[in-house]
Amino acid sequence: MATEPAHSWLTDNSPSTGSGAGHVQEFDASRTCWIHREDSADPGSANTGRVSVIPCTPIGFGEPGVIREQVGTVEYRRLTSSEQPEWSRSESLERNALALFGVAIEEQPQMVHAASGYFGPDMGLVGLAVARAISVPFVYEMRGVLPETWAYDGEALKVHRQTSWLRWSQEIRVASEAQAVIVIGTHLGEELIRGGVDPDKIFLVPNGVDTDQFSPATKVASVRPRIPGLNPEYPTVGYISNLGAREGHLILVRAIDELRSRGVHVNCVLVGDGPMKDELEKAVGNHDLRDRVFIVGSVPHEEIVSYYGVLDVFVVPREDDRAARYTTPLKPYEAMAMGIPLVVSDLPALEEIIGGGERGVAFYCGSASSLADTIASVLEDPEGTDLRSSAALDWVSRTRKWDDNAVRYREAFDFALRNSGAEKQL
């Protein structure tokens, strides 16, 4: 029996090379336009087809002169130009659109899928232009408020804030013109709806967790001997994340100091690296907490599970800004999957994770005193803490596994095809 032609989708997403904590699970959704190809299913198979992906990274990303590169099982297409990528923003958009158009003509995708990135909607504008040029549906993905996420520290943030409303209006425009929109969290979706985007075409594809790698069975504190001074008699709280100002590590350090003044003794382990490391180390010294707070630095990805194993409470002390309000981080899901109690700032994206208190406890964002109160209450109420941790483990196992996201993406893609009237192409 003859098979139908393969179907392709062009998208913009790429796996990151890692975070300050040594992770490689998260997506850096700014650097790629992919072409997805859906191969027809075998005759008699219950599967409707297999989607393969050809990511296409923007001009100037990757090694010069490299056109194709294998990353794991995925072949990347590096968009190239005979000129150096030192153009204005409008020139860069045009060059990338023309290069991507060439790949699209070669691959004949049935869909374009682009994501917001460091410069907000830039790759979305490129993807939208190419989708229109080849008359296929367009899907736009927002995995956070990325210009502010990556420009939290220093002068870059001031520049982004000055133009943020212009970029956000473009985000709304791109999302409005897409046949489907994918968001990382419900609160980001609600923000788009307030901007006028049709709620019926918004799909949630959250961060996820590998529940085989992260589980109560893998919670073994094998790295404890590598943290000199860690008191085995004290419970241990901590955070695994990059050491950026947004993450709120200084608030956690002040909370540990306040707990000590109350006679509540805890260890605090911070895993990761970043621009705040020197300031954190100085704060630890100023508070005379070197016997309580341990800054581990970056660790290999394969050892992350062991560092979770040291923790009795996982704290996400994020500060309040737009990116933190609307972007749900990955690490809390991993802690939940390992049965570790969760304490978070009372920001919308984090409240979403803990289900209004069913799966964790929130403290007043920015308040070291409130954080100290919350940590103490969690440690003093083992029965309530165990109930919340069990609910968190059950929820994350049912709803936040990476494998489940394949189904969610497929639902968004199918909707886009129906919404555009293009499903007849399949």
Same domain, 87 and 12: yes
pLDDT of res. 53: 58
- Number of domains the chain contains: 2
Structure tokens at 369: 């005193």
Same domain, 381 and 310: yes
Residue 234 placed within a domain:
yes
- Domain holding 61, by residue range, is 7-208+401-425
Same domain, 162 and 229: no
Distances (CA, A) of 227 to 93, 249, 253, 274: 48, 18, 17, 19
Same domain, 395 and 407: no
Q: In degrees rounded to 5, what are phi and psi of residue 198?
A: -60, 120
Contact 110, 136 (CB under 8 A): yes
Q: How many Cα atoms within 13 Å fall on the side-chain side of residue 342? A: 35
Length of the chain equals 426
Residue 194 placed within a domain:
yes
pLDDT of res. 55: 72
pLDDT of res. 235: 97
pLDDT of res. 212: 92
Same domain, 159 and 33: yes
CATH at residue 380: 3.40.50.2000
* Parallel/antiparallel/unpaired status of strands 138-142 and 342-345: unpaired
Residue 285 placed within a domain:
yes
Residue 1 placed within a domain:
no
The ranges of the chain with pLDDT < 70 are 1-54, 60-66, 81-85, 118-119, 146-165, 421-426
Residue 2 placed within a domain:
no
Same domain, 368 and 418: no
Same domain, 60 and 172: yes
Question: What pTM was computed for the model?
Answer: 0.84
pLDDT of res. 73: 76
Q: What one-letter code names the amino acid at 21?
A: A
